[in-house]
Amino acid sequence: MEDVAPLANGRVFDQARAENAVRELLLACGEDPDRDGLQDTPGRVARAYQEIFAGLYDEPDHVLDRTFDEGHDEMVLVTDIPMYSTCEHHLVPFHGVAHVGYIPNSQGKVTGLSKLARLVDLYAKRPQVQERLTSQIADALDRKLKPSGVIVVIEAEHLCMAMRGIRKPGARTTTSAVRGSLKTSATSRAEALDLIKGRR
Ligand SMILES: Nc1nc2c(ncn2[C@@H]2O[C@H](COP(=O)(O)OP(=O)(O)OP(=O)(O)O)[C@@H](O)[C@H]2O)c(=O)[nH]1
Ligand SMILES: [Zn+2]
């Protein structure tokens, strides 16, 4: 792999800089980055961060480029999409599941089901807060599919609240974002939430 890999969206991942930063962090913590066991760590951590933040280099709208006119104008909902993201305050993971649904527009414009999970992954692989992650997924669907309604619900555990700080492992945060008819119609929204809650 080249040291500075040019990636989409005008951003680059600077491997050498990231390695140096990890080495500095180890030194700052009082560790010896040259001891056996840590020698390859800066390179490894840098490569891991390139993967963990891969969504910085992708254009979300491209995920939804392929659409089909299926004439289906009722709810499409994918639940329990596994989600791993990184809290931008502490750079530790928050993880859980995302539920993503939409009601196609009157032309019945739909996208592939996997694209909903791809969209979750793309935005999750950035430094994030859960609220923004949830809205960004909803807004991308709204923008590209121009659906009648969108709902995104994310349930996650934040390791910054579990392994440090307030130390409440198991505490779960739920966020939702609704757009269009799923925002304006309490009945449609209740139907979607029932499908999400009753999925097991
Ligand atoms: N709203 C929101 N807050 C988050 C998210 N992830 C982490 N946080 C919170 O961000 C806050 C940062 O608070 P600070 O007081 O600046 O940082 P801190 O001293 O490390 O806070 P503690 O975690 O309470 O120890 C904490 O309350 C975290 O729980 C998120 O996705 N959404
Ligand atoms: Zn945090």
Domains and CATH numbers, the chain: 4-57 (1.10.286.10), 67-197 (3.30.1130.10)
DSSP string, 157-194: EEHHHHTSTT--TT--EEEEEEEEHHHH-HHHHHHHHH
Q: Any idea which ligand is nearest the CA of 92? A: 2
Q: Which residues lie with the beta carbon below 6 Å from any ligand 1 atom?
A: 87, 89, 129-131, 158, 160-161, 165-166
The residue whose CB lies within 8 Å of the most ligand 1 atoms, and thus the one to mutate among 88, 89, 123, is 89
Is 29 annotated in a binding site? The answer is no
Share of the chain above pLDDT 90, in %: 88
> Per DSSP, what are the bridge partners of residue 150?
102, 179
Neighbours of 94 (CB within 10 A): 24
Q: Which pLDDT tens digit goes with each residue over 70-99?
A: 889 899 999 999 999 999 999 999 999 999
Question: Could you tell me the pTM of the whole model?
Answer: 0.93
Q: Which token pair is 192?
A: 């979607």
Q: Which pLDDT tens digit goes with each residue over 90-138?
A: 999 999 999 999 999 999 999 999 999 999 999 999 999 999 999 999 9
pLDDT at 2: 44
pLDDT at 177: 98
Q: How far is the CA of 48 from the centre of ligand 1 (A)?
A: 24
Q: Cα separations (Å) of 58 from 5, 49, 50, 109, 150?
A: 14, 15, 12, 23, 22
- Is position 89 annotated as part of the catalytic site? yes
pLDDT at 6: 52
Rounded CA gap, 196 and 200, in Å? 9
**Strands 127-128 and 76-87: what pairing?**
parallel
Q: Which token pair is 177?
A: 């974002």
Rounded CA gap, 123 and 133, in Å? 6
The residue whose CB lies within 8 Å of the most ligand 1 atoms, and thus the one to mutate among 130, 160, 175, is 160
Rounded CA gap, 91 and 78, in Å? 28
Rounded CA gap, 4 and 14, in Å? 5
Rounded CA gap, 173 and 193, in Å? 16
Q: Does the interface ipTM go beyond 0.90?
A: yes
Rounded CA gap, 15 and 9, in Å? 17
